[in-house]
Amino acid sequence: MSIENSYKGDGKKKALIIAVSDYDNLPSKRQLPFCKNDGKEMVEILDKLGYEIKNEWKLVGKVNGDRIEDAVDNFFTSADSKDTLLFYFTGHGIPDGHGDHFMASSDIDSNKPWRKGFNFDDIERAMKRSSATKIVTILDCCFSGAAGIAMGDEEDIAKNARVAMENTFKEGDGKCLLASSLGSQQSFKMKNQDYSLFTYYLIEGLNGGINNEAVNNKGFVTPSSLGDYVYHKVISADKRQKPIMKTAMSGNIVLAYYPNEPREKNEASPTASAATSGPDPIVLSARDYFKRREYERAIVFFDRVLESNPKHIEALNHKGICCIKLKRYDEARNCFNKVLETEQDNIEALDNLDRLKEYEGEAERRDSNAEPTDTEQTKLEKMKQNATKLLELQKYQEALTIYNQILNQNPSDVDSLKGKAASLFSLDNYDEALVCYKEILKIKPSDVEALNNVKLLQRIEKQKRVSDTTDSLFNEGVHYYTLGKFEEAMSCFERVLQINPSHYEARSYKNLLLERKNQHKKYADEMAESDDPSELIKKADYYINKRMYDEALACSEKALEIEPNYSLAWFYKGYALSEKGVYEESIDCYDKATKIDPSMLNGWNNKGVALDKLGRYKDALDCFEKELEVNPDNKLARDNKKLMLQKLGQTGDSDVGSPNKYNDPTLPNYKPYRPETNKKRSGGIRSETKLESRSNPEADKWFYEGTRLAANWTNKDDHQRAIECFDKALAIDPNLGYVWKYKGYSLNALNRKDEAQKCFRKAKELGF
């Protein structure tokens, strides 16, 4: 294959450009007009390089949050596995104060960035869902627009954002990140130019760079060569800026191709250093990391130099020194010997070998630890003194190691047995500590300290058995609660409280279940009096959202008694049966629903999900395709069809399977949804939300963590952390009344009465 063909590849090059310059809720001094120029220039250069950029992927100037969300979803889900994707954002970044960071849209509220902003985590998730295997993410963010940031604090915000970027966007095969995160708007914009500093050099690099410095020796601009170019240009212009470059595993991604302009290599001498062949950015990066004593990172760059020139003298010598610092002596020797194979009299390599011998000699002397003049008893006493010091310094594991060494030579040393027992006790290893104290009593039966500690450890063991029982019961109750099996959950929590009446978490869950029970009784009473099928389906919808499938089933069946041809009632009955695992009956219900209303949204889709549960994959695929015939815009059915095709490919079986024949947890999961009905189609109700929107697992995760922390009623720090957890749950869904209530409890514990009362009022408004 020619170089040019390897650049073009079988897939397409696609780009999504988001450049937000106008902000509705920020003052004029926080607007970023030059970001519009950044976006236009990026579109122009990438268009010239042959990238596909649809109109909906060119978001420049005033860009609202909904457009960003739609564009990101469309861009990543429409890609083929062979495509190369380039995602670019420039504009403000906004932190939420709880560890999350958001790309700011034009209509963002900087006090509540999660509403209209786009979370960094959501970008990473979109990438994972994409079929593309070559993805380049470029973020050029300014954090000066965040609400409530005083001058001087902006750089701290930007530093935190840089850490968030590096933690969020995982480097992997075919995925890489180039990013700039700045606190000062003045340093964001390039002097005397209407562009941001980072994007200015990014565009320059995509054009090949000055003197083709961004082009490698094959004529390619890769994430690695572009990253090195931008990094050195930016820090040369402003030393305060340290762009993020995660390109080491970018694989064979090629961003641009200049076939007639590869960077020239110095062919005169294979041993020539970077200084004689021009300022190679890779060498400059390696030198920079070496000077900063980041030896592991420096080795990565020296290895890249050696890939293109295995006899590069500077790279070999400096890599060897890095290996010495990291105590990798054999690798270091190998580097210096390679230098001497090329230049026998290379002074630096000869000196480095002498230095290596000194390091190896020191290491050997440290390892020997020979003390021939001491008697064995003196050695044991010194070891005992060292162990005692380690115990005082709370270095229990190190102390335990030494006590074990002493007891190997003298098993009856009471002092060492006591030291070992104390170390084990501090490491929460009560069983072995008890064994040590009992051993002491065999040697010295009247030892008061050992007697008292044996009694103490026996009490702890008894309490631990009780605690293990309550913990096991409590965890079982939480498990039942998350499955919607509330009676079983209540039984577990009541048994915990019988053993330990002061178990705060169990009591909290019990109270929550009692409140739910009262609410459900109210609905059940209303249902018993109702003869309106539409109202009964409303109740079924309520119970399904609470994962109370028996009650939902009862509502659906009563509606069908009144109106046997009510398609929506058959649908809800099918859904409840499916969630209970009664898939055959569920399929019959969906058949009746679609027979009455052939175009019902998600009727065929949900039947396909039930068939999948029975292992009938081919039939399930037919249902997803039928759903798309009657509802071509059904994204859920389209996604399920795609997942089913993957499953059939993984199993290698396109025929009807036996139930759960391929019950492989690595295969895709499918989720049925009820239709977003309207009065015209169903003759029934207009649903307010999707099926499980009122029961959000992510919000519940934060709620459970909050209640766990709040269990220690007297610990104010834990209550503060609990409030932070409740706030995160409410940021996901502000209509969770029980979360407001428990936030009020923690505020009350901190004596913040006014705030607590507001939370209780909000909980009451929501029915708690």
DSSP string for residues in 110-171: TTSTTTTSEEHHHHHHHHHHSS-SEEEEEEEEE-TTSTTPPTTTHHHHHHHHHHHHHHHS--
CB of 587 closer than 8 Å to CB of 622: no
Of the segments 3-7, 136-140, 236-240, which one has the largest average pLDDT value? 136-140
CB atoms within 10 A of CB 681: 15
Q: Where are the beta strands (DSSP E) in 645-765?
A: none
Band of pLDDT at residue 146, cut at 50, 70 and 90: very low
pLDDT, tens only, 233-247? 887 777 666 777 776
CB of 558 closer than 8 Å to CB of 564: no
- 737-749 and 716-732 helices, crossing angle to 10°: 160
Look at residue 603 and tell me whether its pLDDT is greater than 60.
yes
Distance between terminal CA atoms of the chain? 68
CB of 716 closer than 8 Å to CB of 750: yes
**C-alpha closest to that of 353 among 330, 326, 370:** 330
- 635-651 and 603-613 helices, crossing angle to 10°: 20
CB of 659 closer than 8 Å to CB of 615: yes
Look at residue 169 and tell me whether its pLDDT is greater than 80.
no
Cα distance between residue 457 and residue 452, in whole Å: 9
Look at residue 544 and tell me whether its pLDDT is greater than 70.
yes
Cα distance between residue 658 and residue 611, in whole Å: 11
Rounded percentage of the chain residues whose pLDDT exceeds 70:
76
Average pLDDT over residues 432-449: 86
Cα distance between residue 339 and residue 314, in whole Å: 9
φ/ψ (deg, to 5) at 378: -65, -40
Cα distance between residue 59 and residue 68, in whole Å: 8
Rounded percentage of the chain residues whose pLDDT exceeds 90:
15
Pairing of strands 101-103, 118-119: antiparallel
Cα distance between residue 422 and residue 31, in whole Å: 63
* H helices, E strands: number in the chain: 32, 10
CB of 488 closer than 8 Å to CB of 481: no
Supply 163's token pair.
């850490």
Of the listed ranges 274-288, 289-303, 565-579, the one predicted with least confidence: 274-288
CB of 731 closer than 8 Å to CB of 585: no
Supply 585's token pair.
């009956």
Which of the 8 DSSP states describes residue 52? Answer: B
Look at residue 755 and tell me whether its pLDDT is greater than 80.
yes
Question: HSE (CB half, 13 Å, CA atoms) of 83?
Answer: 21
Cα distance between residue 252 and residue 222, in whole Å: 8
Buried b or exposed e, range 141-164, using 16+ CB within 10 angstroms: bbbbbbeebeeeebbebbebbbeb
Higher pLDDT, 330 or 393: 330
pLDDT of residue 287: 80
Cα distance between residue 165 and residue 137, in whole Å: 11
